[in-house]
């Protein structure tokens, strides 16, 4: 039954013009971490890194030399965290998480975009940062204050082989969309850069007794 289903699916795809299916090219995941005390019972540090991705052969898509097009990716994560026990009642923590990303042929995975009409996605600087102070003033009173930020900077640019303006082509390569096959070729339809930052400040005071609890604070972003 399974083989019959695959054969039928293949016939249906071929009827819609698919000549080669999508399939995995390669995937990987490398990671490691280390944690250690900087000062006994007072300062601790933790770091980790990860490098991973998966590349897929895109369906019905080929490079100029006849090779099947690839949706190529690279994702990374670099995490660092520190904790300081200032004294018996006060603690401070901080974290920085950097998340760069690269995608060489975004949109190619649809099977209707030629490699030179895809876009190069680059995210050279993306990170999360956080710092928090906690103070146990007494066995009933707790004060907390923190700051966090999220930054994301990415661009979607033409593929390297797309020609820019010249004397022969004053507008450079222009994107072509075939209305019959819905196929995009020659150049991408977008070329831009975008970035944003989000900041948050939080603080709170908690007062807890054996029978009652009171908490107030602010959040600002």
Encode pLDDT of 60-93 as tens digits.
Answer: 899 989 899 999 999 999 999 999 999 999 999 9
Count of C-beta atoms within a 10 Å radius of residue 105 = 25
| CA separation for the pair 192, 172 (Å, rounded) | 16
Profile the chain (221 residues) by mean pLDDT over runs of 10 residues: 54 72 93 96 97 94 92 96 96 97 94 95 94 95 97 94 91 93 93 92 94 95 95
Nearest of 65, 95, 100 to residue 79 by alpha carbon: 95
Q: Are 146 and 157 in contact (CB under 8 A)?
A: no
Q: What is the pLDDT of residue 114?
A: 95
Q: Report residue 83 as tokens.
A: 């904790």
Q: What is the pLDDT of residue 19?
A: 76
- For 74-97, b where at least 16 C-beta lie within 10 A, e where not — what string? ebbbebebbbbeeeeeeeebebbb
Q: What is the pLDDT of residue 129?
A: 97
Q: What is the pLDDT of residue 134?
A: 97
Q: What is the pLDDT of residue 217?
A: 97
Residues ≥6 apart with Cβ < 8 Å to 182: 112
Distance linking the first and last C-alpha atoms of the chain: 56
Q: Are 219 and 202 in contact (CB under 8 A)?
A: yes
| DSSP line for 17-33 | T--S--EEEEEEEEEEE
Alpha carbons within 13 A on the beta-carbon side of 129: 11
Q: Are 100 and 76 in contact (CB under 8 A)?
A: yes
Count of C-beta atoms within a 10 Å radius of residue 61 = 26
Q: Are 134 and 144 in contact (CB under 8 A)?
A: yes
Q: Are 188 and 115 in contact (CB under 8 A)?
A: no
Q: What is the pLDDT of residue 1?
A: 46
Q: What is the pLDDT of residue 73?
A: 96
Residues ≥6 apart with Cβ < 8 Å to 99: 75, 76, 77, 78, 123, 126, 127, 128
pTM as predicted: 0.80
Strands 192-208 and 213-220 turn out to be antiparallel
């Amino acid at each position: 039954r399974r083989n019959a289903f695959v054969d039928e699916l293949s016939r249906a795809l071929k009827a819609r013009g698919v000549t080669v299916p999508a399939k995995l090219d390669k995937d990987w995941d490398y990671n490691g971490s280390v944690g250690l005390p900087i000062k006994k019972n007072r300062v601790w540090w933790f770091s980790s890194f990860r490098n991973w991705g998966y590349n897929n052969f895109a369906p019905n898509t080929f490079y100029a030399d006849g090779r099947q097009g690839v949706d190529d990716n690279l994702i990374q994560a670099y995490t660092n965290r520190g904790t300081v026990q200032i004294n018996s009642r006060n603690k401070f923590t901080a974290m920085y998480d950097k998340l760069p990303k690269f995608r060489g042929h975004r949109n190619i995975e649809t099977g209707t975009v030629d490699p030179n009409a895809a876009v190069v996605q680059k995210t050279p600087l993306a990170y999360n940062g956080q710092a928090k102070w906690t103070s146990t003033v007494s066995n009933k009173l707790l004060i907390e204050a923190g700051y966090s930020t999220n930054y994301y900077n990415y661009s979607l640019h033409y593929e390297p082989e797309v020609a820019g303006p010249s004397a022969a082509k004053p507008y450079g390569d222009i994107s072509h969309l075939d209305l019959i096959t819905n196929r995009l070729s020659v150049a991408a339809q977008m070329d831009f850069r975008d970035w944003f930052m989000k900041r948050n400040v939080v603080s709170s005071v908690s007062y807890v007794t054996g029978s009652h609890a009171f908490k107030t604070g602010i959040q600002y972003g």
